[in-house]
Structure 1
Amino acid sequence: MGLTPINFPYALTTGDPVAAQTDADEADEAEAEEEEELHSFGETVAGMQVHQGLFTVYTNLREGESYLAIRPDQLNRNFMMLATLESGIGESGLFRGWPINDVVFQFREMAGDRLQVTVPNTYIRNPGNQAWQQRLLEGSFSDSVIFAVDVKAVDPNTGVMLIDLSALVMQQDLANAFGVLGSVTWTHFPNLDLSRLDQVKAFEGNVEIGAEVVFSGGSGGDPLANLFGFALESIPDDRGFSVQVRYSLSALPVNNGYEPRVADQRVGYFLTVFRAPFQVGRPDPFVRYINRWHLEKQNPSADISVPKAPLVFWIENTTPPEYREAIAAGVLMWNEAFEQAGFKSAIQVRQMPDNADWDPADVRYNVIRWSDSLDPWAIGLGPSRVNPLTGQILDADVILDANTVRYLQQQYQTRGLDSNPTALGYLQNCGQRSQTWFQQWQILQQQGEAGLDQALALAQTPSPSNIDHILEAQCAGYTATQRNGFGSLALSVLPGAQFAPEQLDTYIQQYLTAVTAHEVGHILGLRHNFAGSRSLDPAVLNTPAVTQSQGLVSSVMDYFPPNIAAPGEYQGEFFPSRVGAYDRWAVEYGYSETPPSLGDSQERQTLAAIAGRSSQYPELAYASDEDIFDFIDPEVDAWDLSNDPMVFAAWQLENAQAVWGRLNRLSVAPGEGFGGLRQRVDLVFNYYTGNALTIANYVGGQRFRRTDPWTQTGPAPLSRYQPRNSGRPWPF
């Protein structure tokens, strides 16, 4: 059989005059439609309010219309969308000022008058300059195309494209804000039909978009939902509520002079990490940059210089006036650390005016915010938004919860006791090394042998599920409340001048300064350091001349307890009033500059020398969240204090016993009932238990330090403990 050649239908191109005429007519119609579309740009935006800035935005919010104008040169560029809760409901994770999510994305042109919205792959990169490596990278890995938006009109003169801003932000949920918020509330979900954009402001470097997001759902009056804590308490009708969400749209900085700084495991910074698979000769495919601000000296050759642009933090105008000075002191505490890094007056604090024409969530401002809630998940929070390409911190806020003061004023009766039954058992073990063991026991009790595998997995992974992560977020705030609440209770009930009730205000002011310093440390890039409370001998903890000159702790990034002197002893500072040796050293590593003339090689040598000090000075020890859950080193712990935590814990056992004795003899406050007394007894019991466990942790403990691999000796058993002669009998 012979092969029959394929005959192409020439009539589709030249051979059939009828078909050719049809094609021509269709082409003319398409061209006419395109011309009509191009000329519709002016009609589309006619009569709208114009907001000019990074993007030009056209709005008629009364009619629910808003358009984002995109210039051709803004295609294929990196932009960042931040979503923040501008208002909340005071419970269920919806707290005023808390961050929701952020995403880096690009607009990319596609056929059919549409734009792709794409998240570039910043996790796998080619840091080299070889073209073949880039080709291989692009062919081996993918960006994330998440959706497409229709182009509503195109300016025929400039090529500027209009897209529906509400569709971008709300319907398509670019920042994934609805997805995040919907997963937090459990019983309520965003209702797009009732939600709307209600504010747009455009500036040179950013566009600020306000939205009212309505949630619908609820328990419908189900009594079981109320019993198990699933119903919301703060809203008048459980069927729905609304929150304000602030979207901040800005461009990622390009060629702004910022130089990424490589991380060192001995110094605790938050990290920007990516894989560089084509790095030859390196066993580790990861590149790790520390997260830090862009600070430059005005005089690069000077040992100490003011920065070209200082870090400015604003205190929100909702903050009670009586606490503003203490909060400002906590922010400015870090200037001492920056002086060691070569910067003078690196940080400034300003007060947000009562009639300010800007909003605290505006990406141009870093704000110390004051929030309120019924059931806070944290007494303080220090989130920051970071350039995922370089690690440069772009925006940050601190959120302080008003309940932190209420609890110190002994208005803490319901803290943790209003949690649902499942969470309550967990919260009662917060801050203790028995926490994970308690969870394992709970699983075995509930599921028997069927839960054995789950319990074993839990032993390896302290937080295997989302609910555990949520409970851990509550855990730190709960434990801090318990520890610090005991301090204020002791001040109120123990006799003696050192525990006079009028000292409660001093106690609160010192605490606000210390907790602010801790959260500001986070937004400077620093992680927790649970080896940071062991710098001073117990004998000098209450000697102000020492604590005010050296610091009460080596790092305010630890979770430190209130420094309550043993009964009958002189009372010094309750909380740190200055950053510690570790804090100053960590900032030196992260922010110090070498003169440009010395080059990159000299900078690497300088940084290596700074990090190398950690093996020479015990006060520079670093251990973070992952280390505290190893249960290896009892000196890596939260809520301990001094270089002999067992002595300090023994003092606190004495204090607990003394408070107990006073509670037995104190009458219940008028109109209070016995419930308040029961809460205070529980508070003292939890405090006693926590300090007893601090002592018990030393049984079988090993010492662990982050050092250079060539000098690392590995964990070593702790030597036999020799009790110090503290002049006081051991209370057990």
Structure 2
Amino acid sequence: MKQFSAFALVLLFTCFLATPQIQAQDKTPTISEKTKGLDKQEGFFTYYWDEKEGKIWLEIDKLDQEFLYVNSLAAGVGSNDIGLDRNQLGDDRVVYFDRRGPKVLMVQPNYSYRAITDNQKETESVRDAFAQSVLWGFKVAAESKGRVLVDATDFLLRDAHGVVDRLKGMNQGNYRLDDSRSALYRDGTMNFPKNTEFEATLTFTGDASGGYIRSVTPSSDAVTVRQHHSFVELPDDDYEPRVFDPRSGYFGTDYQDYSTPIGESLTKRFITRHRLEKKNPGTAMSEPVEPIIYYLDPGTPEPVRSALLDGARWWNQAFEAAGYRNAFQVKMLPEDAHPLDVRYNVINWVHRSTRGWSYGSSVVDPRTGEIIKGHVLLGSLRVRQDYLIAEGLLAPYEDGQPENDPMMEMALARIRQLSAHEVGHTLGIAHNFAASTNSRASVMDYPAPKVNIDENGNLDLSEAYDSGIGEWDKVTVAYGYQDFPEGTDEKQGLDEILNKAFEDGLLYISDYDARPAGGAHPKAHLWDNGTDAVDQLNHIMNVREIALQNFGEAVIPNGRPMATIEDALVPIYLFHRYQIEGTVKLIGGMDYTYKLRGDSQPGPEPLAPAQQQAALEAMLSTISVEALRMPDAIIDIIPPRPIGYYGSRELFNSHTDPAFDPLGAAETAAHATTSLLFNANRAARLVDFEARNPDHLGLAEMIDKVYENTWMAEPQDGYNGAIQRAVNFVTLYNLLQLAADEDASSQVRAISNEKLVELYDFLNKEEKATESEQWLAAYNYGAKLIDGFMENPERIEEMTPPLSPPPGSPIGSTDSFLGCSW
């Protein structure tokens, strides 16, 4: 027998004694052991608050069970341009927790690709064909009877909303999350039976390189916001998705179903909508099983508060027309409620440093399209802009403050309409920009203030904005929310709703087709009124002329700096800018609908030549000397800005700082018109339509008419001549842009270049004939610009571009698409 030394025996005995201790250390504690003494909060997901360490411990008792994860921004940055608003929704995703040994993964399945079938292997084949996303990995810290405990702190203290990327993308600086200045926010962390809410204060540090972020932060090297995380129970399976129809006026959700029989569409489309059911579906009028309730932000002041409540409540008119009693309600948000709590549909009153869009968005179940939470962001400065426009139109301060306040009446009328509009988006409803041609048939249009001219030639704002829901709105609510009696063919019933609307003459055209740049639809416009865009432009120009003739000191109250008159002048001088965007679409325009095979709607058809010619004449009238000449009575009273009232982007850009620049204003307005005329898509349609019908307006003919009203018009002297020359150079600039546009068709560029040669010859001829030094310089410089372009088209970049306008559509912001409004 082998003998052991004394040392070996001691070592063996020591190891034997140590083994149970090591095993004890490796044993995973129970949840109760790990959380002893911590603040336990029970709810959808139970969590524990560790005050000493500043940690959240999350108890996961729903492994492999899907739920909805939503991230949001509870406290924002306050800049419209950056776009990080208070109570802004972020992404919503279906996720589940998947345990893998010592880890728990948060997995987002790919619901864009599915197989709706009883064949489990077919379902798995589609699941494994497309990538999933693991959003986070947690380490198991404790477990008890199928439940695990993980430290969720790092997950909650990350930049889930993408603030760093947003600041970088907007050229505001390179920031990073500073852990030492970030912490969980207990006041925004709550638990309820069907949702668990977490919130964190996050600080991003870096060197600010942009003016936007410097303008809204007390210290731009430290940007502190709050981000919110919601874990939400998914709805039950009783919701019935409703089929998407492109004529219905709804947003849609879609996915590809690979179990679809060959010959049928792979893509399945459904509308987004709230769940709503009648208590008595067999009756014409019934209470709902559960009403749709919206809540207004209690931070909204009066009189705006009452206006927003009134406007949002308009939708109950549409639900009543669809057979529901008290199905849509609007209340004040309880004082102790969090606006990002998924249980509340909320209308938020949001402050920014500059004017901007309002938004209507939703938390949606991506599996079905069911809206779980409607969420509106209303910009608080919008009501002030409408008030300013009314001041400019009415010049009300001739004898001090008017007895009544027509400016406030107009502003509140607009805010009611805006409230209804954005709530409409959260009901699943898209824009209808053709509604203004149907007597304001929808609050989902972008309405321009309707200004009447009374028999005495005075401007009247009493009908500036409509009140109440429109006829098209009733159609959309019926399509989306009609509860059909048992045994009804739902598809047939939905078709009947839409066909009747079209037979009644209602129109529906949405976003892309209404946009001005290359748009072609003659009836779908932003910020317009009436049935005829040409007639409306002529009316708007008359309103603008009256307002400019009446414009003066009376647009501002006593005690304000005279320089601030320009604030009200900008939207009045450019009062026609939205209507030209509608009228220009008739040039190279065509009428069409979202027709389905078998319905009664007409097919696409180019507009009659006479309509296009009339639109061109109306557009050219907006760049005439008479239209662009600023009255001397205005120019003579606007001094440079005083200390404390510095310039802003809300004012005209200028060549003559610090003096007011009336020629710059004319240049700005002319650029708005001519840039629309010389759009590449519009030009290509003119070529195409004329080729198929020589009676149609062609591109060459349009350019000739522009020349007749600009460079080739009778030259004038003095101030009028200076306006002419400003317009001429703007026209040349935009024609050169069209000729150089690599995306324009070859025929468009060929015609544009040929017309530039014709203008070059004309300018050389006029240069020799003129006796005016100003016109000699203009002809000479214009010819040199064309000659340089012909030698090298890239030299177009050397040209001085026309002055850009102050922020426009919406009146005071940048462009946007679905779910937004001014």
TM class, shorter-length? 0.7 to 0.9
Is 1:622 equivalent to 2:613 in the alignment?
no
Paired AA for residue 466 in structure 2: P
Indicate the SS of the match to 2:385. helix
Identify the match of residue 252 of structure 2 among 271, 290, 298.
271
2:218 aligns with 236
CA contact (8 A) 2:449 2:465 kept: yes
1:68 to 49, 58, 62: 58
Q: Does 1:46 align with 2:40?
A: no
**Contact persistence 1:205–1:250 (CA under 8 A):** yes
Partner of 2:151: 164
Which residue of structure 1 lines up, in the alignment, with residue 809 of structure 2? Answer: none
Match of 2:344 in 1: 365
- CA 1:69–1:276 in 2, change beyond 3 Å: closer, same or farther? same
Report the Cα distance in structure 2 between the residues aligned to 1:273 and 1:409, rounded to whole angstroms.
42
Query: Secondary structure of the equivalent of 1:682?
Result: helix
Q: Summarize the Cα distance change of 1:691–1:218 in structure 2 as closer, same or farther, 3 Å threshold.
A: same
Structure of higher CA gyration radius: 2
Cα shift readout 1:67-121 (whole Å, capped 9, x = no counterpart): 01011xx11122222222222231122221222332221111112x111111111
Return the offset for 1:685: 2.3
- Identify which range, 240-249 or 263-272, moves more after superposition: 240-249
Distance 1:666 1:492, change over 3 A: closer
Quick one: distance in 2 between partners of 1:650 and 1:25? 99
Where does the alignment leave 5 or more consecutive residues of structure 1 unmatched?
1-23, 220-224, 411-484, 537-552, 725-729
2:283 to 302, 305, 308: 302
Q: Describe how 1:262-341 pairs up with structure 2 within 5 A.
A: 262-341=243-322
Structure 2: any 5+ residue segments left out of the alignment? Answer: 1-15, 616-620, 628-822
Q: What pairs up with 1:474-623 in 2 under 5 angstroms?
A: 485=389, 487-493=390-396, 502-536=405-439, 553-566=440-453, 567-568=457-458, 572-596=462-486, 598=487, 602-623=489-510
Deviation at 1:190, TM superposition (A): 3.0
Contact in 1 for aligned 2:75/2:225 (Cα 8 Å):
yes
Distance verdict in 2 for CA 1:30–1:631, change over 3 Å: farther
- The superposition leaves residues 409-453 of structure 1 with CA deviations (integer Å, 9 ceiling, x where unpaired) of 32xxxxxxxxxxxxxxxxxxxxxxxxxxxxxxxxxxxxxxxxxxx
Deviation at 1:641, TM superposition (A): 1.0
- How far residue 266 of structure 1 moved from its aligned partner, in angstroms, is 0.5
Matched ranges for 1:409-428 at <5 A: 409-410=387-388
Q: Does the 8 Å contact 1:613/1:620 carry over to 2?
A: no
| 1:122 corresponding residue in structure 2 | 111
- What percent of counterpart residues are identical? 26
1:80 lines up with 2:71 in the alignment: no
Per-residue deviation, 1:341:
2.0
Structure 1 residues 276, 180: CA separation in 2 closer, same or farther (over 3 Å shift)? farther
Q: 1:168 deviation in Å?
A: 2.4
Paired AA for residue 682 in structure 1: V
Quick one: distance in 2 between partners of 1:490 and 1:105? 54
SS of residue matched to 2:293: strand
The Cα of 1:569 is off from its aligned counterpart by: 7.0
Superposition deviation, residue 126 in structure 1: 1.2
User: Counterpart of 2:583?
Assistant: 695
2:330 to 349, 352, 360: 349
Larger displacement relative to structure 2 (313-322 or 273-282):
273-282
Q: Which moved more, 1:243-252 or 1:329-338?
A: 243-252
Instruction: State the distance in 2 between where 1:243 and 1:174 align.
Output: 12
State the 1:617 CA deviation: 2.9
Letter in 2 for 1:59: W
CA distance in 2, matches of 1:290, 1:176: 28
> Which residue of the partner structure matches residue 737 of structure 2?
none
Secondary structure at the residue paired with 1:232? helix
Alpha-carbon distance, 1:619 to partner: 1.6
Q: 1:151 aligns with which of 119, 140, 161?
A: 140
TM-score (norm 1): 0.75
CA-CA distance at 1:528 after TM superposition: 1.0
Q: What amino acid sits opposite 2:607 in the alignment?
A: L
Deviation at 1:259, TM superposition (A): 0.5
1:675-710 CA distance string (max 9 Å, x none): 322333322222133334433432332101112223
Name the CA distance, whole Å, in 2 between partners of 1:668 and 1:554.
35
- On the 8 A contact 1:81/1:104 being kept in 2, the answer is yes
Between the two proteins, the alignment pairs up a number of residues equal to 591
Letter in 2 for 1:397: H
What's 1:210 paired with? 199
Partner Cα separation in structure 2 for residue 194 and residue 569 of structure 1: 56
Residue in 2 that maps onto 1:198: 185
Deviation, 1:125, is: 0.9
Q: Closer, same or farther in 2 for the Cα pair 1:33/1:182, shift >3 Å?
A: farther
The Cα shift of 1:331 comes to: 1.1
Paired letter, 1:512: I
Measured after TM superposition, the shift of residue 492 of structure 1 is: 3.5
Q: Which structure ranks higher in relative contact order (CA pairs < 8 Å, sequence separation ≥ 6)? A: 1
Cα pair distance change 1:107/1:676, threshold 3 Å: same
- CA drift of 1:367 comes to 1.6
Per the TM alignment, residue 403 of structure 1 is displaced from its structure 2 partner at its CA by 0.6
How does the TM-score come out when normalised to structure 2? 0.67
In structure 2, C-alpha distance between the alignment counterparts of 1:194 and 1:291, rounded to whole Å: 40
Residues 84/581 of structure 1: CA separation in 2 closer, same or farther (3 Å cut):
same
In 2, distance between residues paired with 1:318 and 1:213? 23
CA distance in 2, matches of 1:338, 1:563: 27
- Letter of the aligned partner of 2:546 in structure 1? A
SS for the counterpart of 1:364 is: coil
What whole-Å deviation, never above 9, does each CA across 1:438-474 have from its counterpart, x for those lacking one? xxxxxxxxxxxxxxxxxxxxxxxxxxxxxxxxxxxxx
CA RMSD, aligned part only? 3.1
- 2:365 corresponds to 1:402: no
Higher mean Cα deviation, 143-152 or 326-335?
143-152
Structure-2 residue corresponding to 1:418: none
Report the Cα distance in structure 1 between the residues aligned to 2:554 and 2:46, rounded to whole angstroms.
67
Which whole-Å CA distance do the structure 2 matches of 1:560 and 1:398 have between them? Answer: 19
